[in-house]
Amino acid sequence: MKNKHLLTMDALTVAEIDAILFDAHLFSTIYKDWQFPDNHRVANLFFEPSTRTQYSFESAQHQLNCKVTTFNEQTSSVQKGETLYDTVKTFEAIGMEALVIRHPENEYFKHLVDKINIPILNGGDGSGNHPTQCLLDLMTIKEEFGDFTGLKVAIVGDIQHSRVASSNLQAMEKLGMISYVCGPKEWSKNLTNYHPLDEVIEEIDVLMLLRIQHERHEATMQMTKAEYLSAYGLTKERMNKMKPEAIVMHPAPFNRDVEIDSDLVEHPKSRIFKQMENGVYVRKAVLKRAFGYEFPTEITK
């Protein structure tokens, strides 16, 4: 590969996924304070709102001793009609060594990868892909269960519009996990693994909730929040039916009392804030991969 881009989960082999997760684990343990030996200039270009992805990338970059530039679309020449391609070429020309990009267009990177000589780390493309979210989800699952094969995961909610669902479904198949998609049937993309949540709630190991992606919907939803919660969300009743060792995840931002009863956000089964913490380790690992560094002492699993 010319550059260590990170664009989709499909483009990663199982060995590459394992290597990133292992590095993320080392960043969370013995290499918490390890930094790149050189300062690298990185820029974060977010064309869609973001809290976790943008600021955990930024935190990871600062911890690794990078020099960080934050792009602001509102005050940039995008307002004068500049294209994404020309914006990205500009950041390369002014000396950036890697770019994190989030953009509303699915696969925006397709037009860029062959013409840009610095790594692009995808922070989310439309309803397409969200590889670092998927990797931090996998890290959280692995910490809990040690392995992936045979684990049963229900992904619940707006499957059709969710890049988190797409990336996770790609990776879970690769890793031998059994996935169910649940929630409103019309949002299930006609996937054959659709099941009403109540059919699978007692047997799953991981419940992965999704936010309703209103910004990607053409029509406004007809259901009230309370109706959605009771039909598809995580209620106390459903939580009580889950296996003792099962966990609850959500990429966030979560809508309290829509996808999840507000009282359950910090329930002992919830790993929502653990996912955010792991997001920093995973983003450190993908930056390390992009710049081709090795840890000072080789450690094997």
Query: Site residues (CB under 6 A) for ligand NCD?
Result: 52-53, 124, 130, 133, 163-164, 211, 251-252
Nearest-approach distance from CB 65 to ligand NCD, in angstroms: 24
Helix pair angle (163-174, 14-28), 10° resolution: 110
3-state DSSP assignment of residue 123: strand
Between residues 40 and 211, which has the closer beta carbon with respect to ligand NCD?
211
Other beta carbons within 10 angstroms of residue 59's beta carbon come to 15
Which residue minimizes CB distance to ligand NCD?
211
Nearest-approach distance from CB 191 to ligand NCD, in angstroms: 19
Decide if 271 contacts 294 (C-beta within 8 A). no
Nearest-approach distance from CB 52 to ligand NCD, in angstroms: 4
Decide if 153 contacts 271 (C-beta within 8 A). no
Between residues 133 and 270, which has the closer beta carbon with respect to ligand NCD?
133
Between residues 26 and 138, which has the closer beta carbon with respect to ligand NCD?
138
Nearest-approach distance from CB 130 to ligand NCD, in angstroms: 5
Nearest-approach distance from CB 234 to ligand NCD, in angstroms: 15
What is the rounded CA–CA span in Å between residue 124 and residue 132? 8
Between residues 119 and 124, which has the closer beta carbon with respect to ligand NCD?
124
Decide if 229 contacts 188 (C-beta within 8 A). no
Decide if 67 contacts 42 (C-beta within 8 A). yes
Between residues 35 and 59, which has the closer beta carbon with respect to ligand NCD?
59
Q: Which residues of 218-244 are buried (b: 16+ CB within 10 A; e: fewer)?
A: eeeeeeeeeebbeebbbbeebbeebee
Between residues 183 and 251, which has the closer beta carbon with respect to ligand NCD?
251
What is the rounded CA–CA span in Å between residue 169 and residue 182? 13
Nearest-approach distance from CB 164 to ligand NCD, in angstroms: 5
Nearest-approach distance from CB 167 to ligand NCD, in angstroms: 9
| Angle CA 35–38–44, to nearest 5 | 80
Decide if 6 contacts 282 (C-beta within 8 A). no
Between residues 53 and 87, which has the closer beta carbon with respect to ligand NCD?
53
